[in-house]
């Protein structure tokens, strides 16, 4: 969930035109730069929490939807889970695959999840906020439900709008620093904040070559902030029960003050 940190950023390698014909239907929401993503999103308590949740759920086969560069996926695999990892971002998947070839990496979206197949579907680091319309969000929740075996677990995080994370982001006027892995040259990632259009927060990321000041990319990004009630409702509508909303790393319930909320719903064991 990367709370306290600025929002993860768009892809310097984002070339939608390069998707193969069977992948053109994939809607790639711009929300990360594979080149620098792992460097500016270090391991956090949220990552430990997802590992703890999976352990508690006692699952085996896990789908990591919106896995990105596999930043967390590879740790799930190391913990002994069987992983299927899906993301529409072709370059992110390519990078992820180079980290661990034993994981099944798929360029795709929730429509690629096999029905009745997984013990858990996870979406980490606020993937839930990239689905900007009610329709696209409800589709993902329904696809996750269909993909789970009866008794299966759906777990994901989202920033809590009542905690107003953007107020902190907007105070930080310094760039993130990263290194271009191929040249070793320093990069700066600058963020400009436009603000809300409805419940969608709009901002712009610029990746610059630190030494020359050359702009490598300038990208608009959008993140939706849904209330806990809206998310709870969408889970219930899809059929999930025993819905939990955790607000800290000790499994305590979320409140208005929680920066981020981790949702956990279960597919009824009577589902077919
Ligand atoms: C902030 S990153 C999170 C990556 C990873 N889960 C992590 O923990 O680091 C958000 C990810 O959502 C992915 N994404 C965008 N649109 C998507 C969609 N329609 N279906 C699934 N994932 C999507 C992006 O490509 C990106 O990798």
Q: Each residue of 33-84: pLDDT tens digit?
A: 788 899 989 999 999 999 999 999 999 999 999 999 999 999 999 999 999 9
Phi, psi dihedral angles at 6 (to 5 degrees): -75, 165
Residue 148's pLDDT band, with cuts at 50, 70 and 90, is very high
CB of 221 closer than 6 A to ligand 1?
no
What are the residue ranges spanned by the domains of the chain? 1-272
The per-residue pLDDT for range 256-269, each reduced to its tens digit, is 999 999 999 999 98
Ligand 1 center to 261 CA (angstroms) = 17
For residue 211, the CA-to-ligand 1 centroid distance in Å is 30
**Cα separation of 112 and 67, whole Å?**
14
Any atom of ligand 1 within 6 Å of the Cβ of 71 = yes
The reported pTM is 0.91
Hey, what CATH topology would domain 1-272 get?
Rossmann fold (3.40.50)
Percent of the chain with pLDDT over 70: 88
As a whole number, mean pLDDT of residues 133-141 equals: 98
Q: Please name the residues in contact with 257: beta carbons below 8 A apart, sequence gap of 6 or more.
A: 162, 163, 247
CA of 212 to the centre of ligand 1 (A): 31
Asked whether 141 and 133 are in contact (CB, 8 A), the reply is no
Residue 66 Cα, ligand 1 centroid: separation in angstroms? 3
156/260 Cα distance (integer angstroms): 10
68 Cβ closer than 6 Å to some ligand 1 atom:
yes
Token representation of residue 170: 């907007």
The neighbour count for residue 17, using CB atoms within 10 Å, is 6
Which among 53, 51, 240 is positioned nearest to 150, based on CA atoms? 240
């Amino acid at each position: 969930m990367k709370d306290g940190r600025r929002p993860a950023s768009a892809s310097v390698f984002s070339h939608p035109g390069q998707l193969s014909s069977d992948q053109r239907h994939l809607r790639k929401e711009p929300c990360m730069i594979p080149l620098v993503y792992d460097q500016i999103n270090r391991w956090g308590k949220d990552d430990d929490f997802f590992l703890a949740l999976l352990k508690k759920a006692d699952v085996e086969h896990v789908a990591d939807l919106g896995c990105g560069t596999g930043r967390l996926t590879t740790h799930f695999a190391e913990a002994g889970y069987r992983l299927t990892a899906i993301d529409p971002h072709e370059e992110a998947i390519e990078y992820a695959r180079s980290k661990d070839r034993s994981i099944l990496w798929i360029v795709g979206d929730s429509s690629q999840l096999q029905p009745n197949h997984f013990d858990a579907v996870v979406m980490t680091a606020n993937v839930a906020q990239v689905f900007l319309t009610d329709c696209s969000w409800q589709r993902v929740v329904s696809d996750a439900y269909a993909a789970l075996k009866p008794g299966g677990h759906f777990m994901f995080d989202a920033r809590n709008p009542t905690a107003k994370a953007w107020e902190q982001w907007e105070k930080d006027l310094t760039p993130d620093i990263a290194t271009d892995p191929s040249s070793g040259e320093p990069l700066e990632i600058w963020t400009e904040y436009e603000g809300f259009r409805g419940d969608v927060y709009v901002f712009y990321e610029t990746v610059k070559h630190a030494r020359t000041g050359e702009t490598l990319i300038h990208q608009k990004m959008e993140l939706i902030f849904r209330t806990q009630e809206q998310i709870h409702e969408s889970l219930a509508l899809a059929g999930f029960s025993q819905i939990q909303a955790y607000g800290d790393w000790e499994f305590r319930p979320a409140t208005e003050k929680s920066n981020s909320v981790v949702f956990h719903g279960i597919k009824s064991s009577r589902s077919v």
